[in-house]
Amino acid sequence: MASNVPPTPRGSFPRYLEHLSGSGKAIGVLTSGGDAQGMNAAVRAVVRMGIYVGAKVYFIYEGYQGMVDGGSNIVEAKWESVSSILQVGGTIIGSARCKAFHTREGRLQAAGNLVQWGITNLCVIGGDGSLTGANIFRKEWSELLEELAKNGKISEEAVTKYSYLNVVGMVGSIDNDFCGTDMTIGTDSALHRIMEVIDAIMTTAQSHQRTFVLEVMGRHCGYLALVSALACGADWVFLPESPPEEGWEENMCVKLSENRARKKRLNIIIVAEGAIDTQNHPISSEKIKDLVVKQLGFDTRVTILGHVQRGGTPSAFDRILASRMGVEAVVALLEATPETPACVVSLSGNQAVRLPLVECVQMTQDVQKAMDERRFKDAVRLRGRSFEGNLNIYKRLAIKLPDDQITKSNCNVAVINVGAPAAGMNAAVRSAVRVGIADGHKMLAIYDGFDGFAKGQIKEIGWSDVGGWTGQGGSILGTKRALPGKFLEEIAEQIRAHSINALLIIGGFEAYLGLLELSAAREKYEELCIPMVMVPATVSNNVPGSDFSIGSDTALNTITDTCDRIKQSASGTKRRVFIIETMGGYCGYLANMGGLAAGADAAYIFEEPFDIRDLQSNVEHLTEKMKTSIQRGLVLRNESCSENYTTDFIYQLYSEEGKGVFDCRKNVLGHMQQGGVPSPFDRNFGTKISARAMQWITTKLKESYGKGKKCVSDDCICVLGISKRNVLFQPVADLKKETDFEHRIPKEQWWLKLRPLMKILAKYKASFDVSDSGQLEPVQDQNTQGEPAAI
């Protein structure tokens, strides 16, 4: 479907969103359809950003039903109306299915109610049904107004004054079933609920050697089932988009019994509630259980997760996503003209983009049509490259071909963990080992970092050795901060002794420095002239060449959970400010993003120098805040943000300056940020990025195989990462100039652009750069350049 929307060229000058630049506008915000965690964060961002630019923002309670009923369902929102809702699941403004809005009569009533309040900008948070409804409403708007004037309900003047309606949508749906966006609001939180249940079930299943059939939500979309299967290493998964081939009953039972024969004490089968076979007949969890019991006699249980998946507190990812989307939605409404088509604010890789609503909805409906017509390959393709990629990786990691069917490459590939442990490292190792074996390589595990490498702590690692690794935190291979520089001779000797043909390094900044040292030593030691690739894994997220590292999402969730608890304790005592110190070295990612996810009043980071005047203005800001109904404060401080303004100093300063107005407490989070079970994001990200690294290694080995070529060029030693929308392999030599080695951070960091966002949402004035916003993009062209970084 060709798009008729020409992308607007981006300006070469930065454009800033100014305070009170939207005076006179009225924005209505509603949540509609099924609820999803993170909707409240989106509502909060719309309200606060709207008020910040000078617009009036109105809550429309109970979705479209409230719009039709009017009266007390439409209420002006104040800044404090959205306090303390960031950590609450569901939606505080309610959501309802509305039959009346499907009729013209209902929409006529709704238009009358909006005109009464002067609302001509709608921000709709919901699924494709809700967004379609909003678009129909927008198209009919002027006719509806003329009809209202004809019936004497509104004046002719009102028809002219409110002549057009602008609509911006955000997709809130736990199923991630909307085409055009990588992630919908609520999906990540739903995965958190599912993984919590799977982790708990795995321990009991292991004790009794049981098989568990888990049914997850997704009537028309298998995203939750697929990603949770990928993240827990399930034995089998049933999806609506990709039904099992004929004879699946037999194949599945063979696979389950093979896994048991490999000493695996449990089997996990994940079923999407809308799972079907190739004839479009439903496959129920009970049917699968009966099959396993009858054919194999295994002790089998069914667990249906149901509405647990919609509940609970939103994850850090969902809060940040919803806050970014909410702000982008307000910017889109400010820039809208009568000609602007309705748009959806989406996530592409790591960038917020605007897409034409009609096209996205059309594509989403095309998927369902393809499934109904049994064109399953088309359905998977239409779901997007992210879905397709997940499915292919799952198949490679779950099903081991018999040895005689794997073409041997006669290459040995080693995997090593370097630096501090990060949650998700084990998922990355498991993925690399299995993809390597499937590609015909012999996989070697190096224990205890470069130190262990030099001492020869190297063993072959097999397919079943890495079973059950995805859900384990820390590093099973062991990891150390030691750099290879001191052991180059010994390492070269070990590479020769074990005939290692390629090296995959999973780690943080030390891994990056180690890669540079190995690269530089190639002239002296020809053994080091092999392909090497690094996958970033560190809680600090400070590796040049990637927007994200494995482990930082888990750390962010730990910080957010702790801040939620601390805020709760402060709401009891009133008039209390908490100062919380986060990890990250000199990199302020955790403090800044943690502040955004937890709704902090300030976050001190090294990248943005501050002085005593800034501290003073923060204290004054908190003193003002204590006069309102929100009598608590939260301040985050990165551990190395300033040599002299230590956590103790800031605590003492706040305590002294706030005397009689508020009291202070401090909390150093420390190493709990490095531990814990990996979040679904880190399991999935680790699995996918590591599989991609192994594909690169295989390609490099094929290029040089049999030609006796040594890898001496720069592009043989790379860092793999996500940059904006793409997955990139960047030669480590090229990244040197982008690195601040003294402070161990990249010179440019994408998340600093989100810093004003945190300040605005905490009621500070800040210049928000919107240069990247503003163009409506065609749906299909999103991922034409480069390799898409769907997360």
For 547, the enclosing helix (H) or strand (E) is: none
Q: Choose among 216, 219, 177, 205: nearest CA to 266.
A: 205
In angstroms, rounded to a whole number, what is the distance separating the alpha carbons of residues 375 and 367?
A: 9
Alpha carbon distance, N-terminus to C-terminus of the chain: 25
Active site residue 175: yes
- Sign for the CA dihedral angle at 477, 480, 483, 484 comes to negative
Selecting among 35, 69, 128, 175, the annotated active-site residue is 175
Strand locations in 240-393 (E): 267-272, 300-304, 343-348, 351-356
3-state secondary structure of 311: coil
Residues 399 and 391 sit within 8 Å (Cβ to Cβ): no
| Region of residue 584 (left: phi > 0; alpha: psi -120 to 50; beta: else) | left
* CB neighbour list of residue 139: distance below 8 Å, 6 or more residues apart: none
The half-sphere exposure of 389 on its side-chain side, counting CA atoms within 13 A, is 19
3-state secondary structure of 345: strand
In angstroms, rounded to a whole number, what is the distance separating the alpha carbons of residues 378 and 389?
A: 14
For 325, the enclosing helix (H) or strand (E) is: helix 316-335
In angstroms, rounded to a whole number, what is the distance separating the alpha carbons of residues 543 and 537?
A: 8
SS3 string, 192-214, reads HHHHHHHHHHHHHHHHHCCEEEE
Question: Exposure pattern of 219-251 as b/e (b: 16+ CB <10 Å)?
Answer: ebbbbbbbbbbbbbbbbbbbbbbbbbeeebbee
Cα angle at 388 between 385 and 393, to 5 degrees?
Answer: 120
Strand locations in 161-266 (E): 166-171, 211-216, 236-238
* CB neighbour list of residue 465: distance below 8 Å, 6 or more residues apart: 433
| Region of residue 263 (left: phi > 0; alpha: psi -120 to 50; beta: else) | left
In angstroms, rounded to a whole number, what is the distance separating the alpha carbons of residues 686 and 144?
A: 52
Q: How far is CA 582 from the centre of its chain?
A: 21
φ, ψ of residue 95 to 5 degrees: the values are -145, 145
Q: How far is CA 600 from the centre of its chain?
A: 20
Give residue 41's identity as a one-letter amino acid code: A
CA–CA distances in Å: residue 729 to residues 502, 679, 735: 16, 25, 11
Residues in the chain: 791
For 441, the enclosing helix (H) or strand (E) is: none
φ, ψ of residue 175 to 5 degrees: the values are -80, -15
Residues 695 and 502 sit within 8 Å (Cβ to Cβ): no
Q: Which residues are catalytic?
A: 175
